[in-house]
Amino acid sequence: MLAAAMTALLGGGAGIANATEPCRDFGECKVLVEINSTDGDIGFHFLMDGDNLRYASLFNPNHRKIFSYSTRRELRKQFLTETFAESAEPLCFDPTLDEDEENDDEDFVTLEEFTDRWTTGKYRFYGIGEGWELSKGASYLTFDLPAAPNLDEEDDYGYDESIISWGRGDDLGECSDGMELLETAPEDVPVAIWEVVLEVDIDEEDIETPEEQAIANSKFVVRIPEDTAELEFEVEVPEDFLASLPDNTPAKVEVGAIGFDDNATFSETDEICLNEVGEDGCGFDEE
């Protein structure tokens, strides 16, 4: 199934804006909402891709500028092409409401507050090119948020012997509070692409050599179209990728449901031990 359905590659990363159509004078441009349903955070992302840009800006539907940049010195001689940015991603719930959570004075923005803050509609991109020509483009922001993929081990989903499996969800996980205010229920939002990521999960403090850093940066990423006939909500991780990692490598899995508007909702599961050897394996039970 993986060979038939693969539309992506080894490498890259999750949660990247992925506009697929030309955007007037820009090669690409996109605005979107991304949710991590497991950690419970929410953010605004955008992408613009033009030719040899000196200056670029983004305006909201109320014609107010919300982002701009201007090249200087060496960068003005070299110019810019693609610009990708994401906002801070505050929690979408108040951690003080959960007795099991420690409050570190972390900011939170509920789903209702987020949808009040950001205006749906046309976001306009502008750029000034090498020859001082003006580029224009536009993308539409919606709150059609796909339901979070199900990675619950009790439902036999997650990672098992090189197989990553998941199921359809019906809510936004930790960001579900307030989703009844959305125009379209998450479970009714069509999924265009499923993004599956297996990522090595080593603490930075445990990395001491360049070789260990290279291992820590390893990840397997694949994007699968929802309409693929063979799709059974599972992916097999290539043997070559697993063989490139040492014994007892800690890892995590992330699966994203990406809608046709590029809004994305991701779910995670961690404490996965790759190439497990010995009774203690990755030592998760001791932590």
Find tokens 């201007």 and name the residue: 70
Neighbours of 286 (CB within 10 A): 6
How many whole angstroms from its chain centre is CA 195?
A: 9
2-14+144-277+279-283, what's its fold?
Immunoglobulin-like (2.60.40)
Question: Do 139 and 23 meet the contact criterion of CB atoms below 8 Å apart?
Answer: yes
- In this prediction, residue 9 carries a pLDDT of 30
Residues counted in the chain: 287
Residues β-bridged to residue 225: 193
The domains of the chain are located at 2-14+144-277+279-283, 28-141
Q: What's the CA angle centered on 242, arms 238 and 245, to 5 degrees?
A: 150
78 Cβ contact list (under 8 Å, min separation 6): 71
CA nearest 14: which of 140, 197, 152? 197
Same topology, domains 2-14+144-277+279-283 and 28-141? Answer is: yes
Task: Return the exposure string of 133-171: e unless at least 16 CB atoms fall within 10 Å of the residue's CB, then b.
Answer: eebebbbebbbbbbbbbbbeeeeebbbeeeebbbeebeb
- In this prediction, residue 105 carries a pLDDT of 56
Q: Spelled out in words, what is the top-level CATH class assigned to the domain 28-141?
A: mainly beta
Output the six-digit token pair for 92. 């979408």
3-state SS class at 113: helix
Supply the DSSP string of 42-103, one letter for each residue. Answer: EEEEEEEEEEEEEEEEEE-TTS-EEEEEE--HHHHHH-EEEEEEE----BSS-GGG-TTS--
Question: Do 179 and 185 meet the contact criterion of CB atoms below 8 Å apart?
Answer: yes
Q: What are the backbone dihedrals phi and psi of residue 66, each rounded to the nearest 5 degrees, phi first?
A: -115, -10
Question: Do 59 and 84 meet the contact criterion of CB atoms below 8 Å apart?
Answer: no
Q: Which residues of the chain have pLDDT under 50?
A: 1-20, 103, 287
Supply the pTM of this predicted model: 0.86
Q: What pLDDT digit, counting tens, does each position of 14-67 carry?
A: 444 444 456 889 999 999 999 999 999 999 999 999 999 999 999 999 999 999
Rounded Cα distance between 260 and 206, Å, is 40
How many whole angstroms from its chain centre is CA 212?
A: 25
CA nearest 19: which of 263, 269, 276, 283? 263
Rounded Cα distance between 166 and 285, Å, is 24
